[in-house]
Amino acid sequence: MAIIPVELAGRSYEVRVASGLLSDVAGQCGKLLRKKRVPIVTDTNVAQHWRDTVAQSLGDAGYEPHFLVLEPGEGAKSWQVLELVMDWLLAEEVERGDHILALGGGVIGDLTGFAAAILKRGCGFIQLPTTLLAQVDSSVGGKTAINTSAGKNLVGAFHQPALVLADLDTLDTLPAREMRAGYAEVIKYGILGDRDFFDWCRAEGPEVVTGGKSAQEFAVTQSVKAKARIVAEDERETTGARALLNLGHTFGHALEAQTGFSDRLLHGEGVALGMVLAARYSARRGYISDADAALVAAAMASAGLPSEISALGLNCDGATLAGHMLHDKKMDAGTLPFVLLRSIGEAFLDKQVSLEDVAEFLSEELQAH
C-alpha cells in the first residue's frame, strides 16, 4: 500500500492507494467511525458494483451502513440534490463529530464534501473515490462544490476529508471512456510540473487505461504526491501554486458549459482538450514552440482523448466560448488568470491575457485542424 500524507496545519490526513481497500473499509477508517450508524452517499452505478462490498465490511465489524443512492451524472451537483442530501443527513442524525462516506467519483465527492462542509457548520467526511479522475484529483485537496446555472463549481467550500481510500480495484469496473477521461488528469501533472512523468505517461499511458495494476498504482501514487505537495503549499489557492492545477480547466470548463455539462463531453475530456488549447495558446504567445504544443496534442490523441476542438461540432464562435469564461470562479478584479506553459513540465500563471485575443484564438481553432 502507498500512503501519501497531505500535510496541513492541524488537518493533515492520509491518501492510501492499494487494491482491496473497500473490502476493508471498516478497518481502514478505524476510530473515525464513532457510531454504529454509518451514512454513505453514492450513486446507482457505483452501488451496483461496490455497495455490497462496503456494506459487508462495515456489517462484519458491527456497524450499520445507511446508503443514500443518487442518480449518476453531473446533474447531481445541483441545489435540488444538495437539499435532498442535507435533509437525509439530518434525518440520519449526523453530528459534527461524525464522518460521512462519499463512495463514488468526482460528482459524489464534490457534492458530499460540500454537504459535510455546511451541515451543522461542518462535519467530517471520508473520500472513497471509485474513478481514476477522482483518485488522482478531485478527492484530494478539499475543494467541494455544486454547479449553478451561471457555471460549474461556483458555489462551494474548502473542506478537507479526514481520509482518502483509493482502491485500485474500482478501476476495473469503469467504462473505457471514463478511464481515458481520468487519465487526462494524470498526464496533467506531467505537463504542468514534471517532464519525466509526462514522458512516462506517453510510454505507459495505455497500460494505465487498459488495466495494468502496477502502472495504475504508479500513476495514482505519483499524481497524488504531486497534488499533495501543491495543496500543502497553497491550500486555498492564494499564492498561485495551486492555481497551476487548473491547467486546461479554463478552456475545458468553457467547452463543458457550451455542451451543457453533459455526457457529450466528460470533465476529463474537456480538461484534455483544454490542455491542448492551453499549449497552443502558449505557442501563440511565444512561450513554447509549436512542436511542444503538437507533442501535447499527440499525447492526448494517442490516449484516445479529444485533441481537436473542431471535432466537437460546436455551433458557436470563439466569442461565445470566451463568454463562458466570464463566470469562471478565478476571475479577479475583472481579469482572468490563465495557466500557460513555458515548456512541457513548467506551467505558470499569466495574468495579462486578453479575453478578446482568446476569443479570436478559439475562433481560429474552431475552423482549423
Give catalytic residue positions: 121, 143, 185, 227, 237, 242, 246, 249, 253, 267
Helix then strand then coil, in percent of the chain rounded to 5, is 55, 20, 25
Spatial contact of 158 and 143, defined as CB atoms under 8 Å apart = yes
Q: Which residues are 159's β-sheet partners?
A: none
Instruction: For residue 274, give every residue at least 6 positions away whose Cβ sits within 8 Å of its Cβ, in sequence order, or none.
Output: 247, 248, 249, 250, 251, 252, 253, 255
Q: In whole angstroms, what is the distance from residue 297 CA to residue 288 CA?
A: 14
Q: What is the DSSP string of 175-194?
A: -HHHHHHHHHHHHHHHHHH-
Spatial contact of 28 and 21, defined as CB atoms under 8 Å apart = yes
Residue-wise over 15-24: b if at least 16 C-beta within 10 A, else e?
bbbbbebbbe
**Which whole-number Å values give the CA distances from 291 to 203, 278, 283, 287, 288, in the listed order?**
18, 14, 9, 12, 8
